[in-house]
Amino acid sequence: MLAVQNLGFARGKNILFEDLNFSMNAGDAVRVTGSNGSGKTTLLRIVSGLCRPDNGAVIWHGGLARKSDSGFVKSVNFIGHDDGLKKQLTAIENLKLMLPLLGAYPSDVEIESALDAAGLQAVKHKPVMYMSAGQKRRVALTRLDFMKHRVLWILDEPFTSLDVAAVSCLVLKLRQHIESGGFLIFTTHQDFDVVSEAISLSLD
């Protein structure tokens, strides 16, 4: 179980949110909405343990969710605005470098198959610096295929720069994750409920 209790955060005199409360059980999804500057990214970073709140706490299975807690950290799969890709490396090389750091050890064949399924057959051997924004996003999101061991998925604007086919593919992965008992928290500016099962949490 994940519980956000009386959470508050401010930048100087600007209060982003205060007394924020919600809880999640296995199989739940939360869609965080709000205008630019409302604190969506900050909230996700706090829940993932990357940032500390001014007030309140995040509870994970009865204990404080902290980056010093290796058990919690190994449960989290966080993908932020920055795709975290090394631009001089290819898509394949990026995933071969990144995934072991996250506790996943797929074969080269499995990595290439996942990239092919993401529609990246033609560019998977090219340095990421030559890819479009949408292609880079798909490379970063391909790691979701190997993150079943991390049950808490926290995704900041995962649908940005994706075309219709890529959005459909990502929605399928997210639904499979929550149907298998995973937790999902994500932000989006999409005008429609891309994951209809998700509970909406507005920071406006």
- The yes-or-no verdict on residue 19 having pLDDT over 80 is yes
Are both 139 and 160 inside the same structural domain?
no
pLDDT tens-place string over residues 112-166: 999 999 999 999 999 999 999 999 999 999 999 999 999 999 999 999 999 999 9
Are both 7 and 51 inside the same structural domain?
yes
Beta strands in 1-90 (DSSP E): 2-11, 14-24, 29-33, 55-60, 63-64, 76-79
Please report, for the domain that includes residue 2, its CATH number.
Answer: 3.40.50.300
Are both 2 and 71 inside the same structural domain?
yes
Are both 169 and 200 inside the same structural domain?
yes
How long a stretch of residues is the chain? 204
Are both 137 and 48 inside the same structural domain?
no
What confidence category does residue 191 fall into, taking pLDDT thresholds of 50, 70 and 90? Answer: low
Tokens coding 57: 């706490």
Nearest to 143 by CA among 86, 89, 104: 104
Total structural domains within the chain? 2
Are both 51 and 136 inside the same structural domain?
no
Domain that holds residue 128: 84-149
Tokens coding 40: 């969506």
Are both 69 and 157 inside the same structural domain?
yes
- Helical packing angle, 164-179 and 133-142, nearest 10°: 20
Are both 112 and 143 inside the same structural domain?
yes
Are both 134 and 169 inside the same structural domain?
no
Which residues, other chains included, contact 68 with Cβ-Cβ below 8 Å and sequence gap of 6+? Answer: none
Average per-residue pLDDT for the chain: 93
Burial of 59 from C-beta contacts in 10 A (0-12 / 13-18 / 19+): middle
Are both 71 and 167 inside the same structural domain?
yes
- What integer pLDDT is reported at residue 190 of this predicted model? 66
Alpha-carbon distance of 140 to 81, in angstroms, equals 10
Determine contact, residues 59/5, Cβ cutoff 8 Å.
yes
pLDDT tens-place string over residues 81-110: 888 899 999 999 999 999 999 999 999 999
